[in-house]
Chains A and B, each alone.
Chain A
Amino acid sequence: MKRIIALTLIAFAAFGIIMFTAAFGASAPTEQVIRVTAKKFEFSPGEITVKKGEPVLLELTAEDVRHGFSLPDFGIRADIKPGVINRVKFTPDKAGRFDFTCDVFCGSGHEDMSGTLVVTE
């Protein structure tokens, strides 16, 4: 009897996962995933190109020490720590070239650690 109950629960759980994925996963808008790596004293890539109105998922990670990612024109900032992927979602609502910078002081080249987000129409 216990075995039947357990199997039933597993079946319900599996059904739930399938339904959840169908309801939410499949309908989620496609987003451009961009992996950005920070290390003293540069971002890679240093220039990121995205399209206006299309969702973007930044996957931020650091290779050496703690850094920051600051993109003030879109109100975005995040800490970037070694061994951790920090995901930041946003949808650019204006076209142009926008600076992003490291805002966690990381050493003698910190002031040079910046990049550009290019948003095309």
Chain B
Amino acid sequence: MSKIDRRDFMKIAGIGGLIFASGLGFNALGSNHSGGGKRAKDDFYFVQLSDTHWGFDGPAVNPDSKGTLKKAVAAVNSLEEQPDFIVFTGDLTHTTEDRRVRRERMAEFRDIVSGLKAKTVHFMAGEHDASLDRGEAYQEFFGKLNYTFDHKGVHFIVLDNVSDPAAVIGETQLKWLQDDLKKQKHDAPIVVLTHRPLFGLYPQWDWATRDASAVINALMPYKNVTVFYGHIHQEHHFMTGHIAHHAAKSLMFPLPAPGSAPKRVPIPWDASAPYKGLGFRQVEAAARKAHYEITEFPVTKG
């Protein structure tokens, strides 16, 4: 695995926000962290990027719409230690009804992110990628819509809550999830990766998954479950029982806090603070403890 020196990690963390997360909850820097601890051999870290919306064009919202993703790729590549893997939690591309343009955008996106130094990349679809054609184009470029993978003792489950345009996981996928969970011990560290929130964050803005409660019910017997998702274009942390949910920032435009504005419209570009509200995060995982340290980074480091 790639090793990262704790002191370097804390130095990197200094340019972003840092929180700690686990199946037992999450809190601000310093409140329950031993600090300076030695990494266990099964510790690792990954990077989450989300909502890149490649193909979006709106100068008032992001005058650098063609450059932001490339800057983020460069920022990830400049991390002193490269992550074990990278996840993209959906809305890789901005939606279009033109089948040809959809595929062009996906091809361009794929080309850009192929420049990442970390070569293990796990993709998820967002509704902009998959809702208009039930994920047909997405699967041509990025593979399955739902799948699992394991890394150093952590079981990752990728859920598709977007290829049905009604934001439904569906009975078939739910059964698949239940069958997969049956193979896990109840104290196994489990991370769920998905696009939409798996709880009714703000249904008035369609920030929900219609049958999320069935997913949460299936996950509830498992003690160490953490969810990382996108869709809402901002950092957000929430607990459903003992399950922590962490939303990531976008790499195209930020959105207002839930219900804080009359409409769900992008926050305009702030010329005095370019890329404000955009960014990516790294997640350092202590697998044995199902403990996750989240560090938020801006699009451009330093």
Contacts and interface: CB of A to CB of B under 8 A. Distances in A.
B127 interface: yes
A107 B132 contact: yes
Instruction: Report whether over half of chain B's contact residues are helix, strand or loop; otherwise say mixed.
Output: loop
Interface string B265-292: 1000000000000000000000000000
27 contacts: A66-B165, A70-B204, A72-B200, A72-B203, A72-B204, A73-B204, A79-B166, A99-B204, A99-B205, A101-B204, A102-B206, A103-B203, A103-B208, A103-B210, A105-B95, A105-B166, A105-B167, A106-B165, A107-B95, A107-B97, A108-B94, A108-B96, A111-B206, A111-B264, A112-B265, A114-B263, A114-B264
Interface in A90-108: 99, 101-108
Contacts of A68: 166
Contacts of A105: 95, 127, 131-132, 162, 165-167
A90 to B, nearest CB: 16
A73 to B, nearest CB: 7
Nearest to A97: B262
A40 B192 CA distance: 33
Interface of A: 66, 68, 70, 72-73, 79, 99, 101-108, 110-112, 114
A101 B262 CA distance: 12
A101 B205 contact: yes
A108 B98 CA distance: 11
Contact of A104 (B165, B204, B264): B165
B119 to A, nearest CB: 32
Contacts of A70: 203-204, 206
A82 B97 CA distance: 18
Closest 8 CB pairs of A and B: A105-B131, A72-B203, A105-B165, A99-B204, A105-B127, A104-B166, A103-B206, A104-B165
Interface string B192-217: 00000000100111101010000000
